Structure 1
């Protein structure tokens, strides 16, 4: 399911990624993948690494990738509980799980904070009950983006879904770093980006910061403390193709697509901006 469908409360549809041989390597030049350039060889290679080789390559701190198979799943544990024990269940030859592993390698502190919060809720609710905080944590894990912003006017435009003000009038701020994507966390976003024409929506945690690393570190602290991701409505939707330079066509007609650049729903409010 796209993040746009989630925001609209649409029916969940399972996304089926194309096979590796059908993926055009040019898709990995999209800005969405910019933070993962160090792993580009794993993305463009003609063949998959097996799970053990991928684990050896990534050498995750305090975690290891383990093959997801019947014997592993028979232990009765929740997926997140295994991670807390150091084991990340990983399907072989699977784009979704490869991207998940890459996020663990690139932003381990974010992933550890998400896992710790999930496990606290599982301990309280059991493995078969999910509360709204767990839904928010999962949504950020799957489709999350960290955005840093310095100009309150841009955030105000975003919060009222004034996409022309945010992306067109605000284009200079995007190009000069006054507002920027500090990190792409959502591995499902990356999987969906394998289809280059797909219009994606990130679910964002936003902080006031002038550097990407400071923004990410602040979000780690916010997740750990429980100051964010207590409800899916904490997340701001961002039509990623609207960011200047993130889509080949960004003319006036493009920004008028109301099914993608959605108007603000009545009564919808967003949390206050956090300082890094």
Structure 2
């Protein structure tokens, strides 16, 4: 069933105090105010190095015959529906992670030129999954992979709960659809993760992600992505402070028979 976001003004304010929405304080007025930010407000927040700009998605704009990704590549125009949660969160991700967004656009346009606008490659599916639900994981304790590989969610999120506080594992949420779903209190969120074995700064995983996508080394197949039940991370769900949550949460699915995950990239 297609998700329908709650109307502005009806949202429980508690969702803005919990990840992932609490991690965007610079844009808090855009999501918490009574009125929607306009296109001009979105553009005024762009970093000086950002060539792309947000443009209102109108019938006249769509009459140009260009694919959404082609319009960005050729004109720098990001078609944006006004008064729309999904597109507002997409704009916020563009503002925080422009290099990754630009890298995705580059690879999407390459495949559109090869496949046309009706067919899609495995890489395009992978990139779309990441764009909508992507999570960038910086892992500093390789031993946590044993539990993750086995879908031993009780171990990853309860027995190793301290790892999410002490920096042995950390995430940057990229997928704007996850942000939209987080508007519904208690909704169970599952991300699609790229994992980097990090020894340096957390930002190095974001940089490595952008470089890997731009070069075509990453996101060549949807199976490159690992499921990560974000609602298990401390603070992400109001009930996950209880061990019982980690034994029965519906977002905790067993590993499919024969499923294998790629090794994390060292950075």
User: Under TM normalisation by the shorter chain, which class is it?
Assistant: over 0.9
Of 47, 54, 62, the residue aligned with 1:73 is: 62
Residue 155 of structure 2 aligns with which residue?
A: 165
Residue 205 of structure 1 aligns with which residue?
A: 194
TM-score (norm 1): 0.91
TM-superposed deviation, 1:125: 0.5
Of 101, 117, 128, the residue aligned with 2:91 is: 101
Of 42, 53, 71, the residue aligned with 2:41 is: 53
Higher mean displacement: 232-241 or 54-63? 54-63
Across the aligned residues of Structure 1 and Structure 2, the Cα RMSD in angstroms comes to 1.4
TM-superposed deviation, 1:96: 0.4
Does the 8 Å contact 2:197/2:266 carry over to 1?
yes
Count of residue pairs the alignment pairs up = 263
Residue 244 of structure 2 aligns with which residue?
A: 253
Higher mean displacement: 244-253 or 204-213? 244-253
Does the 8 Å contact 1:136/1:229 carry over to 2?
yes
Within 1, Cα distance between the matches of 2:28 and 2:201? 24
Does the 8 Å contact 1:25/1:43 carry over to 2?
no
TM-score (norm 2): 0.94
Does the 8 Å contact 2:93/2:174 carry over to 1?
yes
Residue 121 of structure 2 aligns with which residue?
A: 131
1:14 is aligned to 2:2: yes
Within 2, Cα distance between the matches of 1:154 and 1:53? 42
Higher mean displacement: 251-260 or 94-103? 251-260
Is there any run of 5+ residues in structure 1 with no aligned partner, and where? 1-12
Within 2, Cα distance between the matches of 1:261 and 1:244? 15
> After superposition, where does 1:108-127 map in structure 2 within 5 Å?
108-127=98-117
Residue 174 of structure 2 aligns with which residue?
A: 185
Is there any run of 5+ residues in structure 2 with no aligned partner, and where? none
TM-superposed deviation, 1:41: 1.3
Within 1, Cα distance between the matches of 2:41 and 2:161? 42
Within 1, Cα distance between the matches of 2:5 and 2:237? 21
CA deviations on 1:69-92 (whole Å, 9 max, x unpaired) are: 111111111101111120000001
Does the 8 Å contact 2:149/2:261 carry over to 1?
yes
